[in-house]
Amino acid sequence: MALTNPLGSNVLIGGVDSSSTMGANNDTLALEFVPEIWGQAILESFNKNTIMTQLGTNLSAIAQAQGGDKIRLPHVGIPAVKAVTQNAEVLEIDVAGSDTGVDTELVIDQHYAAPIWIPDAVKAQSAYDLFNLYSGQMGYAIAKAVDNHLMYTVVAKLTSVLGSGDGVNANATMNVEVGDALTPAHLASLMAIITAETGGTEGWTVVLSPKAYGSLANSSNFGNAFTQGLAGLASNFSGQGIVGSLLGMPVVASNSVFMDVGSVAQAATAGIHTAWDGFDTGDTTDDDYLRGFAIHESALYWAIQDQNVKQSYQHTYMQDLVSVDSLYGAVARTADSAGNRRIISLTDSKT
């Protein structure tokens, strides 16, 4: 991300030494607002409070390097294996059964800012507790906006593929009906879909709602299929959401607002720019609940193109206005067809 390097200032001597010796004209951290210091603290809070950024493929470096607002992603597919015969052409074009000719477009179209009023930003900068309070809250606000957008991108794609007039399409082959509790039978169904698509669990992650994770963690009949993380839920959850592994796949526990509900209202201040009406494309009387999903790394692409900290003194308010803004975007790809199923939903039917 494009937050500036906090090590650009010499913190040990109290500022940036602008000459060969420390003189009275040197810039000091105690006399000026240093966005690099704020940027590092906000970035730490951001990383601690984002869960969805652990999933998919991060294209932030490409977005920052090339500029612009779009990244085109070709789908390479799996090339056919060719037998080599002497004096015969080998490199013939054969893309049957692959999606080589298809591409996905990632658009950087989300720009949100988290502003906060501070009576004296320079004094807050030098006070450890106040500094952590302000920077932590700004990092948390931006983290939730990004997280909500990434989750909305996933659920909107699932709805477009699986949604029907009364919830999830009953004939869907990329959905496992789990009710309100996971069982070994559900895991077997999930594994059957995953292995048929990619041949194994490499690159897949399981994201579970509080309801689904509770049933998984409390069940005694999963045997060795579920392995708790070494540090357990308490320490890992706040950092990355990773709470263990399931059949070789990392398990992420998510308390997203899109989980365990039939619909989500628009909330611009939380980064939910569009309401999610659930899987029911007709009405919301019998909508299904999303209990979680398994997602392959090739199913979600996201990028943060720019992220900056700004400060200005507002005389009419006698306060400093400090803000962090983030420019980002995401796109999801999956289809209910063999070879293209990259997000497998786990739902609870309410019909």
Spell out the per-residue pLDDT of the chain, length 351, in tens: 445 444 333 333 333 343 444 444 444 444 688 888 888 888 888 888 888 888 888 999 988 888 778 888 776 555 667 778 888 776 655 544 444 456 788 899 899 999 999 888 888 888 888 888 888 899 999 999 999 999 999 999 999 999 887 788 877 789 999 988 888 889 889 999 999 988 889 999 999 999 888 887 676 666 667 776 533 444 434 444 677 788 888 888 888 999 999 889 998 888 888 888 888 877 666 678 999 999 999 999 999 998 888 888 888 888 889 889 999 999 999 988 888 899 999 999 876
Could you give the CA distance from residue 344 to residue 172 in angstroms, rounded to a whole number? 10
Task: Return the pLDDT at 18.
Answer: 39
Residue 144 class from Cβ within 10 Å (0-12 exposed, 13-18 middle, 19+ buried)?
A: buried
- The answer to the question of residue 77 being in a domain is yes
* Predicted TM-score (pTM) of this structure: 0.79
pLDDT value at residue 182: 87
Residue 21 covered by a domain: no
Range of the domain at 273: 30-351
Q: Among residues 9, 124, 6, 4, which one has the least CA distance to residue 64?
A: 4
Question: Pseudo-torsion of CA 113, 272, 139, 116, nearest 10°?
Answer: 50
Does residue 110 fall inside a structural domain?
A: yes
- The pLDDT of residue 329: 93
**Token digits for 220?**
């005694």
CA-based Rg of the chain, rounded to a whole angstrom? 24
Q: Report which of 288, 296, 266 is spatially closest to residue 351, judged by C-alpha positions.
A: 288
Find out whether 349 and 288 touch, Cβ atoms under 8 Å.
yes
Handedness of CA 276, 277, 279, 285 (dihedral sign): positive
| pLDDT of res. 224 | 64
Among residues 328, 276, 335, 342, the alpha carbon closest in space to that of 147 is found at 328
pLDDT at 293: 95
Distance CA 213, CA 254 (A): 9
- Examine residue 53 and state whether it is found in any structural domain, yes or no: yes
> Looking up tokens 């990244």, which residue turns up?
71
In a domain, 197, yes or no: yes
- Amino acid code (one letter) for 234: A
Q: What is the pLDDT of residue 6?
A: 40
CA angle 151, 267, 273 (to 5 degrees): 60
Q: What is the pLDDT of residue 311?
A: 87
Q: What is the pLDDT of residue 125?
A: 84
How far is 129 from 124, CA to CA, in rounded Å?
A: 8
Domain count, the chain: 1
Hey, is 257 helix, strand or coil?
coil
* Phi, psi of 16, rounded to the nearest 5 degrees: -95, 115
138 class by beta-carbon count within 10 Å (0-12 exposed, 13-18 middle, 19+ buried): buried
In a domain, 1, yes or no: no
Query: Is the residue at 22 inside a domain?
Result: no
What pLDDT does residue 159 have?
92
Read off φ and ψ for residue 337, nearest 5 degrees: -145, 150
Reading the block at residue 84, the tokens are 């080599």
Instruction: Give the CA angle between residues 89, 93, 97 to the nearest 5°.
Output: 130
Residue 25 has a pLDDT of: 42
- For residue 8, tell me if it sits in a domain: no
The enclosing domain of 347 has a CATH number of 3.90.1690
